[in-house]
Amino acid sequence: MDSDGLYSCPGEACAHRAGEWQLLYRHVVTKHDDFIIDKNLGADATVAVFQRPNSELQCPKCAFRSESHASVKQHISINHAGLGVASDLVQIEDRPAPFRCPDCSYASTEWPTLQKHCASRHKRALPDEPSYALPAFDRTVGTPVYDCPKERCLFETTDLLALQEHLKVAHSGKKRKAPDPLPRYLVPPKGPYACPACSVSITNWPTLLAHVTREHLDAFAVDRPTTCKGRELQCPVAHCGYQCKTTALIDGLASHCESAHGYSCARASGVATVVPARRGRKPVYVCPLCSFETGLAASLRYHSEDVHGRKVAIKHAPKQPEGNDAAVNAEMTDEGDFRIVAPVPAGAEIIFQVSSR
């Protein structure tokens, strides 16, 4: 009982309060299947017998039922030692399946049936009796914590329904459909351009690519393949339109670039440079080797190291000036490579690495 004479529901996310403990009891057993409350705590703890709409009486600690109050009371004294039985009955609604499986959506009205289900389907051994917490009205009493049964998952909650929802969403085995990534590098930018190696002014995007290929060591490697809708990789050469839809996306794109355009498109070693795009006001970080994208830079780093065994460096592309005639679509980076900023309002870029003879 609280200081104002009302009883508060022990559920962490529930604000229900009642003026009588019987009303609170009825609320808890109706709305919260994961625990039952006692009327009192300590050595003199008492529980109230449930009375269902058909006048059948049930033990509040297990699925035992009887039409006789004396039989239920005797059952509690034998099977649930240390608990007294209150004289008042608690009227509850008849719920068809009070016991839920912690690993799936299966539910059963009988605890032994649920035990057999968990043992055969999930190889999980349940206790002999239902695991009910007894927090009652004292908030200092420990609340049960449900841990995710999946290996290496640190999820935990005090709400059994929240755990079931977590298992459905995170461990259902079905991959959620990811939204289509932003279309990248599908149209050439507007010139003029300045070659980052020799500062020659060029007005046409394909001409710039041809100039780089012809005049500067005759080849370059694309460190970041471009992604378009449909999870394919698209050739970065303007007006080419080639899309690689095979399982070996990077190898397929590399073969096309070498045979059709005379340059190599290879998986770069070492650290890959990733430039965040923007979807509205939020940044979007895209993996340079697959279609994975996330709003967190740390998530991209973990993904790249775990899946591809590579590290990524997050860099922001330089801001383009307001004038369209400024030749700043490309700039020098580290020795031996340069980047050409792509024409999307996301700050994305393509990195070309000049190869040696």
Domain regions of the chain by residue span: 7-80, 97-130, 194-223, 231-275, 285-351
b/e string for 263-276 if b means 16 or more Cβ within 10 A? bebbebeeebbbbb
Q: How confident is the model at residue 293 (pLDDT cuts 50, 70, 90)?
A: confident
b/e string for 94-115 if b means 16 or more Cβ within 10 A? eeeebbbbbbeebbbeebeebb
Q: Which residue's entry shows tokens 């104002």? A: 4
Q: And the tokens for 207?
A: 């001409």
Instruction: Check if the beta carbon of residue 136 is closer than 8 Å to that of residue 41.
Output: yes
Q: How far apart are CA 227 and CA 180, in angstroms?
A: 10
What does pTM read for this prediction?
Answer: 0.24
Residue 280 has pLDDT above 50, yes or no: yes
* pLDDT tens profile 304-348: 777 766 666 665 544 444 443 333 333 333 333 333 333 322 333
Q: How far apart are CA 39 and CA 131, in angstroms?
A: 18
Q: How far apart are CA 110 and CA 114, in angstroms?
A: 7
Instruction: Check if the beta carbon of residue 73 is closer than 8 Å to that of residue 49.
Output: yes
Q: Which residue has the higher pLDDT, 212 or 267?
A: 212
Instruction: Check if the beta carbon of residue 114 is closer than 8 Å to that of residue 105.
Output: no
Q: Is the backbone peptide bond immediately before 96 cis, with ω within 30 degrees of 0?
A: no
Q: Which residue's entry shows tokens 């239920």? A: 72
- pLDDT for 98: 57
Q: How confident is the model at residue 279 (pLDDT cuts 50, 70, 90)?
A: low
Residue 94 has pLDDT above 50, yes or no: yes
* pLDDT tens profile 137-151: 222 334 456 667 776
Q: And the tokens for 111?
A: 């605890």
Instruction: Check if the beta carbon of residue 99 is closer than 8 Å to that of residue 110.
Output: yes
DSSP secondary structure string, 271-304? EEEE--EEETTEEEEE-SSSS-EES-HHHHHHHI
* Long-range pairs for 296-299: beta carbons < 8 A, 24 or more residues apart: none
* Long-range pairs for 313-319: beta carbons < 8 A, 24 or more residues apart: 313/271, 313/272, 313/273, 313/274, 314/274, 314/275, 314/276, 314/285, 315/273, 315/274, 315/275, 316/275, 316/276, 316/347, 317/275, 317/341, 317/347, 317/348, 317/349
What's the whole-number average pLDDT of the chain? 60
Rounded mean pLDDT of 10-26? 67
Residue 119 has pLDDT above 80, yes or no: yes
- pLDDT for 290: 65
Q: Which residue has the higher pLDDT, 285 or 191?
A: 285
Task: Compute the CA torsion angle 98, 104, 106, 109 (nearest 10 deg).
Answer: -30
